[in-house]
Structure 1
Amino acid sequence: MVLFSHQHALMGRPGIDTGLGERFGLGGLGVCIFFIVSGYLVTQSWLRDPNAFRFLAKRFLRIWPGLFIVTCIAALLVGPIVSGLDVKNYFSSPGLREYFGNLRVIGGGTSYLPDVFTHNPFPRAVNGSLWTIPVEVHWYLVLVVAAVAGALRWRWIALFGIVGLAIYHFGVYHGETNPVRNWSREYGLFFLAGALLQLFRDWWADRQVLLIVGSLTVGTALFMLGWHVLGVLVAMPCLVIFTGEASTPFLRRFGRFGDLSYGVYIYAFIVQQTLIWKFGASGSFTLHLLSTVVVTFICAWLSWHLVEKRALSFKPSRIRSGKERIHEVDLEKNLA
């Protein structure tokens, strides 16, 4: 969804109207889905191995190696080729060093490289997808702090805390109408919604239809009353997670190629911009999109098999006792 929506914007074409307003075009919905799924999966990871060091090490190994390679490719390979500067001025530009700030993960960097993509319809942006990584890492840290404090063990504390944060965001900060949009907290609420669904998984496992109907009904009502963000926040998480849990045979077969999701995420934008720089934006949208998909999935496949998968082989793992292995399946039942 994000790749498809970016294709419109980067080619200077009007996007597809989802009917959900400016905040929730295809790209916005895709980012919401990303944070919901992320919250669900990383909370699952913590519950399986509740150790702060190992948790953070796993998150680092999942994110940073792939990010390092794509940053180097953009700055040291693509940049000098497509820049309007000569090689000497390009490599001596402060903008090049600033771009490597993306590797800090916390605090972020910049999406720009010296005189790169200046004549594209969406000028200068090299990898506009990376802004979500610092937001995601921020909520990883929040999750760890909450878990160490016991909020995940006593899940009702987590529920009340997240509801309190939502009340503050929408009732005090006026997140629906405040002209200063707090991106981190807004998307963080989608992350936390995914985390809650993981914490209460044993409760909703046999109530999925009821919850989907209920959340869609309440979410739609809120949306119609003008609470657009809150409406989507209520309606979307159950639909996303329950659909993902009902994995289709097609999705399971696709997984044999590896976990390409992160590679697609970090390579799509720069692939799109580079193809537009080379071939222009006036041609067939469909041809551009197909070319982008092919090249991006090749990059993602290479990233998974040559970088990400190898990095993940260094993940620290706990040494479980026989008793822990026997009772691991009962983890959710033991949550307060």
Structure 2
Amino acid sequence: MRGARGKIYADPNIGFAWLRTIGAVTVVVDHCCPLLEPNRLTIFPASWHASPGYVALMGFFAMSGFQIQDSWTRDPSWWRYSARRLLRILPPLVVVLCTTVFVIGPLVTTWPAHAYWTHVQTWRYLVGTTVLFLLQHQLPGVFTGNPYPYSVNGALWTLPIEMLGYALVLLAGVLISFRVSRLVLVGLLGGMVYADSVFQATFEYHGRPLSLLVVPIGSAVAFLVPFVIGMILRTYRDKIPLRPWVAIVLFLAWIPLSQTVVSRYLLAVMASYGAITLASHWPKRWERAGSLVYGSYGLYIWAFPIQQLLVMAGVRQLWLLIALAVPAAFLAGQLSWRFVEEPTQRLRRYLRKPPPRPEPRSEAETTMIIQRGAPAAAPSPSSRGAG
């Protein structure tokens, strides 16, 4: 069965890469609306109370939970895990922030150059946003004449939540390594679902006004629910089958229930199970896309300032902004992958899990080997002259 499946479906990593790229493009399209009309939050009609970008982000976090949990399972080392996560998220972010502060900012700011460079907010934006949990949204005089002057790069607000997800994987992994049952993940999910019920965040509302530094806790919890679902689907993948028909049923059930209170819970389950199932059943013939679908992170973090620049240049029609922003952001994502992400990912070779050491032979095993005529293990170079 596995042999037949291997011929039909692509490597799941290809499926995840495709879905991340499609999801990132969906977010870019959805962001075009508030960038032109701040009161319009999504490309869908307001009466629908639904956003394709929000659904895509739910899928993003579920896929992250699944893949990051898989990374920990393959190498449960806290420091190598942490180093891999920082290598993945920080280099592309630093590049886009430096470009924004040192190139875009000076070119488009309405402030005098001296005032721009000496204002504390310029450096607070650079340093605070690099730290993520001190994330800033504005640069002095940058995009202040646009319809949406509230953020230079509004897409970055989800990155601190992603880091919180990484911390959850590390915390759960350490607990399980101390022989705590894997059911701790189910308890973690229950806690997240309860908190989500309390804060009541949606794509239109961050929930009750409580934050962790700059991170709105309501939205953080809402996105960490699918993240933990992804962790559970990876941890119990031998017990929870990924069936396409189940994913379809969940989607069809969510559509009529999307306007009810049930949607809060069903959306997270539908997006999580659906994204991970689809990635696991991705058509093999689409593997040929290769590296073209590995630029989703760069696409995501570059798109917003690109869109702001297009709006500043005079683009005011929604369809035109979408037509220009999507290919431009895709190109930026490809450049980010080829010249920033792929080279820094190669540094992971220095973080390889060391090979397991052979267990020392017991005295009885050594005696048996000698009696059979096999040579005993050679002494190490350091012990040959030890006397």
Shorter-chain TM-score bucket reads 0.7 to 0.9
The answer as to whether partners of 1:36 and 1:190 remain within 8 angstroms in 2 is yes
Q: In the alignment, which residue of structure 2 is the partner of 1:319?
A: 354
Question: Closer, same or farther in 2 for the Cα pair 1:220/1:203, shift >3 Å?
Answer: farther
Q: Which has the larger radius of gyration?
A: 2
Q: Does 1:193 align with 2:229?
A: yes
Unmatched 5+ stretches in structure 1: 324-336
For 2:318 and 2:195, the matched residues in 1 are separated by: 43
For 2:292 and 2:250, the matched residues in 1 are separated by: 34
Q: Does 1:48 align with 2:82?
A: no
Question: Closer, same or farther in 2 for the Cα pair 1:219/1:197, shift >3 Å?
Answer: farther
Question: Closer, same or farther in 2 for the Cα pair 1:224/1:117, shift >3 Å?
Answer: closer
Question: What pairs up with 1:97-176 in 2 under 5 angstroms?
Answer: 97-100=123-126, 101-105=128-132, 107-150=133-176, 154-170=181-197
**Could you tell me which of 281, 294, 299 is aligned with 2:327?**
294
For 1:322 and 1:220, the matched residues in 2 are separated by: 54
220-229 or 184-193, which deviates more: 220-229
Q: Give the secondary-structure state (helix, strand or coil) at the position aligned to 1:263.
A: helix
**Could you tell me which of 214, 218, 226 is aligned with 1:182?**
218
Look up the equivalent residue of 1:140 and give its one-letter code: Y
Look up the equivalent residue of 1:4 and give its one-letter code: V
231-240 or 79-88, which deviates more: 231-240
Look up the equivalent residue of 2:186 and give its one-letter code: L
Q: Does 1:285 align with 2:285?
A: no
The answer as to whether partners of 1:40 and 1:191 remain within 8 angstroms in 2 is yes
Q: In the alignment, which residue of structure 2 is the partner of 1:63?
A: 89
For 1:96 and 1:68, the matched residues in 2 are separated by: 15
| Aligned-pair CA distance for 1:40 | 1.0
Look up the equivalent residue of 1:165 and give its one-letter code: M
The answer as to whether partners of 2:75 and 2:81 remain within 8 angstroms in 1 is yes
For 1:19 and 1:121, the matched residues in 2 are separated by: 19
Q: Deviations over 1:39-95 (max 9, x none)?
A: 111011111111111111001000101100000000110001010012111111111
Question: What pairs up with 1:166-315 in 2 under 5 angstroms?
Answer: 166-170=193-197, 179-180=208-209, 182-205=218-241, 208-209=243-244, 211-212=246-247, 215-216=250-251, 223=258, 225-249=260-284, 251-257=286-292, 259-278=294-313, 280-282=314-316, 284-315=317-348
Q: Extract structure 1 runs of 4+ deviating beyond 6 A.
A: none
For 1:37 and 1:88, the matched residues in 2 are separated by: 45
For 1:36 and 1:183, the matched residues in 2 are separated by: 15
Unmatched 5+ stretches in structure 2: 1-25, 210-216, 359-387
TM-score (norm 2): 0.74
Q: Give the secondary-structure state (helix, strand or coil) at the position aligned to 1:150.
A: helix
220-229 or 181-190, which deviates more: 220-229
The answer as to whether partners of 2:146 and 2:311 remain within 8 angstroms in 1 is yes
Q: In the alignment, which residue of structure 1 is the partner of 2:377?
A: none
TM-score (norm 1): 0.85
Q: Give the secondary-structure state (helix, strand or coil) at the position aligned to 2:44.
A: coil
Question: Closer, same or farther in 2 for the Cα pair 1:238/1:10, shift >3 Å?
Answer: same
For 1:229 and 1:30, the matched residues in 2 are separated by: 15
| Aligned-pair CA distance for 1:121 | 1.2
For 2:144 and 2:336, the matched residues in 1 are separated by: 27
For 1:8 and 1:148, the matched residues in 2 are separated by: 43
Q: Deviations over 1:239-266 (max 9, x none)?
A: 1111111123464222333610110011
The answer as to whether partners of 1:39 and 1:195 remain within 8 angstroms in 2 is yes
216-225 or 82-91, which deviates more: 216-225
Question: Closer, same or farther in 2 for the Cα pair 1:223/1:251, shift >3 Å?
Answer: same
How many residues end up aligned between the 2 structures?
317
